[in-house]
Amino acid sequence: MNFDVVIIGGGLAGLTCGIVLQEQGKRCVIINNGQAAIDFASGSLDLLSRLPNGTFVKNIPENLTALSAQLPQHPYSIMGAERVLAKAQDFEKLAESLNLDLIGSTAENHLRVTGLGSLRGAWLSPNSVPTVQGETPFPYKKIAVLGIEGYHDFQPELLADNLTLNPQFAHCEVKTGFLNIPELDQLRANSREFRSVNIAQVLEYKLKFDDLVAEMKEAAKGTEAIFLPACFGLENQEFMESLRKATGLPLFELPTLPPSLLGMRQRIQLRHRFEKLGGLMMNGDSALKAHFHGNKVRAIQTRLHEEEEITAEHFVLASGSFFSKGLVSEFDKIYEPVFHSDIIGVEGFNDTDRFTWTDHRFSNPQPYQSAGVAINAQCQVQKSGQFLTNLYAVGNVIGGFNALELGCGSGVAVVTALAVADEILHNTH
């Protein structure tokens, strides 16, 4: 099988890169093992929320320069602040064209409400999520936080108690309640199945819509806005929009414990666009090994196609970190299993010395979380000290930064994905 571009990984980075390449006429295949971190994400995208020294990032452009001084091996530092901002703005336009319903800008971070009632910095958030800008008070004073009876992945009382501790919500009167929704009784009988995805599937096909609207109105009587767990609408916000119109109230949804419906919606919409453009998804498959010719990748073999090589002019490694098996740890080493690329991390980290992988304080950032492949300014991957001319890395398989500590994982994913798409289009023969 031959393609213009082979992309290994069907998460946010791989799909973003594939969509842009397909739009420009490239024939792409995405090898997707089914484990994408986006399915467990909040739906909000972080470009850069914190600096390595702990400073909270409000103004994004000026702090990208500060990041370069503090962490020169970060992908943003390698690419350069100007290009990072340009690619981030390109993604904003792409998200708008894909109807991802995101709000925010590269000018500065906003604050989104988490499922625990705290506030977290974000670059882009679904417009259905409650957000505030800086110290600006939330526009609604009387809020009803409504959970679902028997659903333990969302705790209204805990959220309400924490919410009003934030200055932006200190003026709010928050009451809590629970929706029964009889159609969910069968799921309630098995708590292991009572998850956001299962709830959304039942509500999509078996719900008495008018009864739910009446129950919501009754539970929220006397309030100006409703906060709900993100369980309403499996593939997009259409169901939430119907509820908004029917109740006549502003409805907001909050991410629950994983899996997250807000993240899954984005993956579903991205995948639909990629396939609509003619891209091929090889789902349930995984890349096993690569074959090289000089400093180029010639072909790869996959688990389901061991006997048939998959060849291409360009290859993109978008396999993610440990969660999606883009990186593997054994007792004596951390490695990238397909191309066996060079691994880097933060200062002091050594991929073959496990004593450097962890910090003795559990609450501190852990060095292993910064592990990943080494790249250059073009996002080409380094192997045995040499950069491969047709192999690129995008997203959290790249090393040299801790996405959790800095709040930049999804930003790195889309910025590198769009930068690599540019490189491939520019270098096509």
pLDDT digits (tens, 9 = 90+) for 100-125: 999 999 999 999 999 999 999 999 99
CA distances from 356 to 324, 326, 371 (A): 22, 20, 11
CA–CA distance, 51 with 204 (Å, rounded to integer):
42
Place 27 in a pLDDT band, splitting at 50, 70 and 90: very high
Q: At what angle do helices 81-97 and 60-70 cross, to 10 degrees?
A: 130
Task: Please give the mean pLDDT across all residues of the chain.
Answer: 94
CA nearest to 153, candidates 293, 3, 258, 23? 258
CA–CA distance, 370 with 22 (Å, rounded to integer):
31
- Which residue shows structure tokens 């020294």? 53
Residue 429 pLDDT greater than 70, yes or no: no
Mode of pairing for the β-strands spanning 372-373 and 343-344? antiparallel
Q: What are phi and psi of 358, to 5 degrees?
A: -130, 155
- Which residue shows structure tokens 């200055």? 167
CA–CA distance, 89 with 105 (Å, rounded to integer):
8
Q: What is the pLDDT of residue 234?
A: 86
Contact by Cβ (8 Å): 160, 176: yes
Residue 403 pLDDT greater than 90, yes or no: yes
Residue 191 pLDDT greater than 80, yes or no: no
pLDDT digits (tens, 9 = 90+) for 327-380: 999 999 999 999 999 999 998 999 999 999 999 998 888 999 999 999 999 999
Written as six digits, the tokens of 225 are: 């806005």
CA–CA distance, 10 with 356 (Å, rounded to integer):
31
Place 215 in a pLDDT band, splitting at 50, 70 and 90: very high
Q: What is the DSSP string of 203-248?
A: HHHH--HHHHHHHHHHHTTT-SEEEEES-S-SSSSHHHHHHHHHHT
pLDDT digits (tens, 9 = 90+) for 55-99: 999 999 999 999 999 999 999 999 999 999 999 999 999 999 999
Q: What is the pLDDT of residue 275?
A: 97
